[in-house]
Amino acid sequence: MKKFYAFLAAALMSVSVFAAKDVVPSDAVLANYYEQGNVCVCIYVPGDMACFDIVLVGSFHADEKKNWITSPVSDLPKFEPVEGYDGWYVASFTPEAEPDAEKGIQAKPVMLDVDGNFNWSYQVGAATAIRGGVQVVQGAYAGEIDLINYGADAPNVFTVEAWKSNPCTAIYHNYKVIVISDGCDGYAVPFIIGDMNSWAFEQMQLDEDLTLANDAPTYTYYKKMAENTKYQIVSGLVDDNGEIVEAPAWSDIAYMQKLVDEMWVRIPGEEGDNQLTHENAEIVWDLRAEDLRWARCDDSPIETVEVSVKLPAENFPVEGVEIIGTFDDWTGVAMEMDGDVYKATVEAKASQFFKFRSAGKWPGEEGGTEIEVYRSEIDDWTTIQNNELVFGQLWEGEEGARTLYIDLSDADAYRWQAREEQGIENVVLTEKAHKVVVDGVIYIVRDNKLFNLQGAQVR
Give the model confidence (pLDDT) of 63-99 as tens digits. Answer: 887 788 998 999 999 999 999 899 999 998 887 767 7
Residue with the bigger pLDDT between 96 and 331: it is: 331
Average pLDDT of the chain, as a whole number: 76
Residue with the bigger pLDDT between 430 and 36: it is: 36
Cα–Cα distance measured from residue 290 to residue 296, given in angstroms and rounded to the nearest whole number? 16
Worst-scoring range by mean pLDDT, 124-138, 162-176, 342-356, 443-457?
443-457
Q: Is the per-residue pLDDT at 338 higher than 70?
A: yes
Q: Is the per-residue pLDDT at 150 higher than 80?
A: no
**Preceding amide of 72 cis, omega within 30:** yes
Task: Band the pLDDT of 13: cuts 50, 70, 90.
Answer: very low
pTM of the model: 0.66
Per-residue model confidence (pLDDT) at position 365: 66
Domains, the chain, with CATH or none: 4-169 (no CATH), 172-297 (2.60.40), 303-417 (2.60.40)
